[in-house]
Amino acid sequence: MTLLALGINHKTAPVALRERVTFSPETLDKALESLLAQPMVQGGVVLSTCNRTELYLSVEEQDNLQEALIRWLCNYHGLNEEDLRKSLYWHQDNDAVSHLMRVASGLDSLVLGEPQILGQVKKAFADSSRGHLNVSELERMFQKSFSVAKRVRTETDIGASAVSVAFAACTLARQIFESLSSVTVLLVGAGETIELVARHLREHHVRKMVIANRTRERAQALAEEVGAEVIALSDIDERLKEADIIISSTASPLPIIGKGMVERALKARRNQPMLLVDIAVPRDVEPEVGKLANAYLYSVDDLQNIIQHNLAQRKAAAVQAESIVEQETSEFMAWLRAQSASETIREYRSQSEQVREELTAKALAALEQGR
């Protein structure tokens, strides 16, 4: 049995590729069923966020294992193998365990030490546990990563400062608009990232917030917390002209805001500038919007420079956190080796017992014949 971690992330692949390799919540079960149908795969967990798509697997070693799994991933998403291969990383056993612990602890995130990834890893584990995990070692690896992430957050200052994609989006808004107290912000979506954005904006006394979401109930709860108005996604075209800033993060497979929609809004605004921050993967805003005069479009990748500016105080904590991960990885691998040794001993004892029973049966048969 071998533990694997393979995938792409914000460091190895641009958003244009990452959005083609996502697994939506609606298709996850079927994807896992297809993955587990591969003869070498014993159990699996799929982690798919805006910044990474990763497969954590327990597999039987075989020739061309890497080729077979890359082929499955490409076939599932309709990708060219060469395009994916250039951006794909592959970790095995010790390196796979260490990678998961680093991911869960926020050490491999776009925003160093961001806490949201732990919840995303836990959700991926829970979703995959519905009949797809199958292997106790894989389950133990994830449970261990959760405790390591908690230890990192408790024993280091990795999460001391409020740095996140949401924070970066708000920082960008404050850099472009001198004061948020005179602007109207349209938030598209009502998920965790938009919740964080809304809270940041409230702290900076934004004049007005409007939340557009597919389901009114979720948006209403957030709106009541931050003092925002709720509208339907279908109302965006009509209301877009009111927004100085648009920040979008939904799970829509297709763009929600198109070039024509923004052109109409700009005309109604008499070309007063609009800032559009698209945090979603796949993208919520058509890339062509960025070519319009007075429409300033930033994708999740564009936020990286802002994020880097806020990382200095986390660097020392990260060194301490890496030491914790290294120690915990060694302990887990020692446990894994002990499990393997115990299994070998059990198999040896079982075989010995079988041989003993066969010899006893033969001896008794010989005695019977000699009577």
How many other CB atoms are there within 10 angstroms of residue 304's CB atom?
A: 16
Which residues participate in catalysis according to the annotation?
50
What would the pLDDT profile of 216-264 be if each residue is shown by its tens digit? Answer: 998 999 999 999 999 999 999 999 999 999 999 999 999 999 999 999 9
- Distance CA(60)–CA(41), nearest Å, equals 7
Which segments are annotated as binding site for NADP(+)?
189-194
For residues 152 and 8, membership in a common domain is answered with: yes
State the pLDDT at residue 208. Answer: 97
Residue 35, domain CATH: 3.30.460.30
112 plus 177 within the same structural domain: no
> Do 6 and 154 reside in the same domain of the chain?
yes
| Helices vs strands, H then E, count in the chain | 14, 10
Does one domain contain both 98 and 119?
A: yes
Q: Exposed (0-12), middle (13-18) or buried (19+): which is 164, by Cβ within 10 Å? A: buried
Mean pLDDT of 24-30: 91
Structure tokens at 57: 């697997």
Lowest mean pLDDT, pick from 14-23, 152-161, 245-254, 356-365: 356-365
* Whether 146 and 28 share a structural domain: yes
Question: Do residues 134 and 238 both lie within one domain?
Answer: no
**Closest to 197 measured CA to CA, from 260, 275, 258:** 275
Structure confidence by residue, pLDDT tens digits, 48-79: 999 999 999 999 988 899 999 999 999 999 99
Q: pLDDT class for 352, splitting at 50, 70, 90?
A: low
The answer on 178 and 92 residing in a single domain is no
Which tokens go with 300? Answer: 């999740």
Q: What gap in Å lies between CA 17 and CA 50, rounded to an integer?
A: 11
Enter the tokens of residue 121: 């890893």
Report the candidate in 177, 188, 295 with the shortest Cα–Cα distance to residue 237: 188
Q: Read off the pLDDT band of 194 (50, 70, 90).
A: very high
Structural domain includes residue 311? no
Q: Which of 303, 327, 350 is the last residue of a domain?
A: 303
Specify if 11 maps to a domain: yes
Instruction: Count CB atoms within 10 A of the CB of residue 68.
Output: 16
- The Cα 305–Cα 308 span in angstroms is 5
* Together in a domain, 155 and 230: no
- Co-location of 149 and 230 in the same domain: no
Q: Which run of H or E residues covers position 59?
A: strand 52-59
Task: Indicate the number of domains in the chain.
Answer: 2
Q: Round to whole Å and give the CA distance between 184 and 205.
A: 11
Q: Which domain holds residue 32?
A: 2-160
- Give me the pLDDT at residue 314, please: 84
Q: What is the pLDDT of residues 267-292, one digit of tens each?
A: 999 999 999 999 999 999 999 999 99
Instruction: Indicate the pLDDT class of residue 355, thresholds 50, 70 and 90.
Output: low
Q: Are 21 and 77 in contact (CB under 8 A)?
A: yes
Annotated binding site for substrate: 49-52, 109, 114-116, 120
Instruction: State the CATH number of the domain containing residue 266.
Output: 3.40.50.720
Mean pLDDT of the chain: 90
Claim to verify: residue 230 and residue 282 sit in the same structural domain: yes
- Per-residue pLDDT for 341 more than 60? no
Among 285, 303, 321, which residue terminates a domain? Answer: 303
Query: Which of 274, 303, 332 is where one domain is finished?
Result: 303
How many other CB atoms sit within 10 Å of the CB of residue 18?
25
Would the pLDDT of 306 be above 90? no
Q: Is residue 80 part of a domain?
A: yes
Sign of CA dihedral 292, 297, 299, 305: positive
DSSP 160-209: -S--SHHHHHHHHHHHHSS-GGG-EEEEE--SHHHHHHHHHHHHTT-SEE
Same domain assignment for residues 156 and 181: no
Query: What pLDDT does 134 receive?
Result: 67
Confidence of residue 41 (pLDDT cuts 50, 70, 90): very high
Q: Do 246 and 173 sit in the same domain of this protein?
A: yes
Which residues touch 112 (CB under 8 Å, ≥6 apart)? 106, 158, 163, 311, 314, 315, 318
Q: What is the pLDDT of residue 356?
A: 64
How do 229-232 and 89-92 pair as beta strands? unpaired
